[in-house]
Structure 1
Amino acid sequence: MELAVLGLSDRTRPVVRSADSEKITINLGYVDLGHIDLLVSESVYANRSDFIRTAVRNQIERHAEVTRQSVARKRVELGLRRYDRADLEAHREAGTTLDIRVLGMASIAADVSPELARAAIASVEVMGSLQASPAVKAALADRLR
């Protein structure tokens, strides 16, 4: 996932917009939601989403050392990792398979066939988002962790 800083708010916080993002639904108690709405009405945050994104980033930063250790221990790639047909064909031809481990987004190119994906990918573990055609996802269903 690529992030771009678009500008600074009047409170000198960077306003960050994601080129690709995943929509989630969360349940909050009425009192928590009321606190968020109060902060938005006082212009501390632009909207509820701004508050939630900021809270998530703050918690990720707070636990950065745990994440760093886990990424190193599990040998996870961090960020956006794209697998194209040429990558997978090279593994198939070499007789090797990939164990995909990504924290962020893993993307399998649209020109990758389900057969090639099964031949070249041994396992997939994505903490974040996996982008692939429905056919490729179905072909790898038994290899997803």
Structure 2
Amino acid sequence: MPSSSLSTQPRAKPPAESEKITINLGYIDLGQVDLLVAEGFYSNRTDFIRTAIRNQLTTHGDAVKQVVARKTLVLGLQSFGVAELEAARSAGQMLDIRVLGLASIASDVSVELALATIQSITVLGALQASAAVKAALASRIH
């Protein structure tokens, strides 16, 4: 019987597809949401909230596009790995990361490399990075 080897190295966790948020609603608003769910308009509270958020984003879509263009934000996902940051360091560049969505700094990026290459981070959405890198860059995160 062939033997198989198991890797003892931890697997990198894939980036989350969404970010969990918590909101507080008044009892009347919550009751109305529950009523719409009970009547079958939405499958659950989360479905209602996601739909409401998407509707508001659609309503304000032009304003979002104008702000993204004015602030030169990257819209969507922007990832930074060791290779990208080493290239920036070799070129003598400091990065100003500006993202509307998800900014991700790879888990193998060292604190030293992050500090040497990232001048500032502005994220409207979520920032994924190791706890050590986030702590080291705390004063540069806006």
TM over 0.5: yes
Q: What is the Cα deviation at residue 74 of structure 1?
A: 0.3
Measured in 2, the distance between the counterparts of 1:25 and 1:120 equals: 33
Q: What is the Cα deviation at residue 77 of structure 1?
A: 0.2
Partner amino acid for 1:36?
Answer: V
**Equivalences, count:** 127
Provide the identity percentage.
Answer: 64
Q: What is the Cα deviation at residue 139 of structure 1?
A: 1.0
Moved over 4 A (4+): none
Q: TM-score, normalised by structure 1?
A: 0.86
Partner amino acid for 2:54?
Answer: R
Unpaired runs of at least 5, structure 2? 1-15
Unpaired runs of at least 5, structure 1? 1-18
Structure 2 counterpart of 1:28, from 25, 29, 40? 25
Q: Write out per-residue CA displacement over residues 86-138 of structure 1, whole angstroms, 9 at most, x where no aligned residue.
A: 00000001100110000000000011001000101000000000000000001
Identify, as 1 or 2, the structure richer in strand: 1
SS of 1:80 mapped into structure 2? strand
Measured in 2, the distance between the counterparts of 1:114 and 1:139 equals: 7
What does 1:35-46 align with in structure 2 at a 5 Å threshold? 35-46=32-43
1:81 equivalent to 2:78? Answer: yes
Q: What is the Cα deviation at residue 20 of structure 1?
A: 1.2
Query: Could you say which structure has the larger radius of gyration?
Result: 2
Partner amino acid for 1:44?
Answer: F
